[in-house]
Structure 1
Amino acid sequence: MQLNRWLVVLLLSLSTQARADAVNALKDFVREVKSGRAQFSQIVTSPDGGRTKTTSGSFEFQRPNQFRFAYLPPSEQLIIADGKKVWMYDPGLKQASSHPMSQALGATPAALLAGGNLERDFTLKALPSKAGLDWVQAMPKQADSGFQSLKVGFKGRELAALEIVDGFGQSSRLDFTALALNPVLAVDRFRFTLPAGADLLEQ
């Protein structure tokens, strides 16, 4: 699924100062948080709004350019970025694929959370509060980013949600819980070892 690949991240008042503070909260998060882990739930909605799929799992990241999305059954999947490649593994199919980091990351949602240069890759704009969260829009500066829009939701200063619309109009909402900032993460959390009997497709 395209959205899972990128996988894998401010209460706004109506005042100008509050909106500026929301953007600053995202900048502070990217600047000050060097590693993190959280649980997440994800709802993916088809372009016509008629179909939805709900998944959940855990997310870990460490700057620069290392992250790990582990989706739980029945939609089990593992996505790992080790700083050089992005690996995707489907246990049900026993199939893994890898992509060079330079091709797979770019100006993507994962880059916003785990990358190294927020303002180089994105144009930021504060949005009105919605559903108890403060929202910032992050538009990619490069045309071939693979998604139409990305919104980041904060509750106070804490990252709470991501809303993504991909290049095909499919939308995804990720809500984060149990967020831990700047934990010490083991190096092997961002290493992928091909399981015995699995096929590898490299691009």
Structure 2
Amino acid sequence: MKSRAVLAAVLLTLASVARADAVSALRDFAREVKSASAQFKQTVNSPDGKRSKSSQGSFEFQRPNQFRFAYSKPFEQLIVGDGQKVWIFDPDLNQASSRRMNQALGATPAALLAGGNLERDFTLKALPSEGGLDWVQALPRQADGGFQSLKIGFKGRDLAALEIVDGFGQRSRLDFSGLAVNASLPADRFRFVLPAGADLVEQ
């Protein structure tokens, strides 16, 4: 919500309420949403803002620490967290890598959405509304997530976007659509089976 000259005091009051509600929305989301699925579009911008690339796919999670990112365009890639390990599979290379969950997750965006303890891992700060969304900044309590900043955007009480700046200054934004919460998700959605003939690199 942007303050304007007319009714500035009223608008500032409304902005303050909206920002507080965004923090509450994230806390409610972390407490009440045990599973969810959505489509996403991702835009990645270079640190200087001159180059960008786009991708899209689907996202699912189930607490605690189970998630699935399935990129479909422009290239396929699958990222699965099964609660014990995080698996990344590249069909074009027919290669998978795995890493233990406690080493790979840390205070990352996936941990924020699918992790078990929001308040333990992150410090939350309300930000001004922008682009029709109410934003919350989540700062990792331990700087081990490999990123500089993380923002979460809500439209009302619904998760709408994530914006991440990584350790190199690269900015990624995911916009979600078709969000379905607390739906029953098959257990095999969060189980990775190495395809026949695929190489595996364990980290």
TM-score > 0.5, shorter chain as reference: yes
For the aligned residue pairs, the C-alpha RMSD in angstroms reads 1.2
Deviation at 1:189, TM superposition (A): 0.2
1:111–1:14 CA distance, 2 compared to 1 (3 A): farther
Q: Distance in 1 between matches of 2:143 and 2:154?
A: 26
Q: Which residue of 1 aligns with 2:193?
A: 193
Q: Which residue of 2 aligns with 1:153?
A: 153
Point out where structure 1 has 5 or more consecutive residues left out of the alignment. 1-10
Q: Which residue of 1 aligns with 2:114?
A: 114
Percent of residue pairs bearing the same amino acid type: 75
Alignment of 1:69-80 (within 5 A): 69-80=69-80
Q: Which residue of 1 aligns with 2:85?
A: 85
Q: Which residue of 2 aligns with 1:7?
A: none
Q: Distance in 2 between matches of 1:14 and 1:93?
A: 53
Q: Is the Cα contact below 8 Å between 2:96 and 2:201 reproduced in 1? A: yes
Q: Distance in 1 between matches of 2:95 and 2:171?
A: 25
Higher mean C-alpha displacement, 126-135 vs 19-28: 19-28
Deviation at 1:34, TM superposition (A): 0.1
Deviation at 1:21, TM superposition (A): 1.8
Matched, 1:99 2:102: no
Q: Which residue of 1 aligns with 2:6?
A: none
Q: Distance in 1 between matches of 2:165 and 2:188?
A: 31
- Equivalent residues, number: 193
Q: Distance in 1 between matches of 2:133 and 2:182?
A: 22
Letter in 2 for 1:94: N
Q: Distance in 2 between matches of 1:14 and 1:64?
A: 38
Letter in 2 for 1:192: F
Point out where structure 2 has 5 or more consecutive residues left out of the alignment. 3-10
Q: Distance in 1 between matches of 2:144 and 2:65?
A: 19
Q: Distance in 2 between matches of 1:176 and 1:143?
A: 26
Q: Is the Cα contact below 8 Å between 1:14 and 1:128 reproduced in 2? A: no
Divergent runs of 4+, >3 A: 11-14
Q: Which entry has the higher C-alpha Rg, 1 or 2? A: 2
Q: Which residue of 2 aligns with 1:17?
A: 17
TM-score by length of 1: 0.92
Q: Which residue of 1 aligns with 2:46?
A: 46
TM-score by length of 2: 0.92
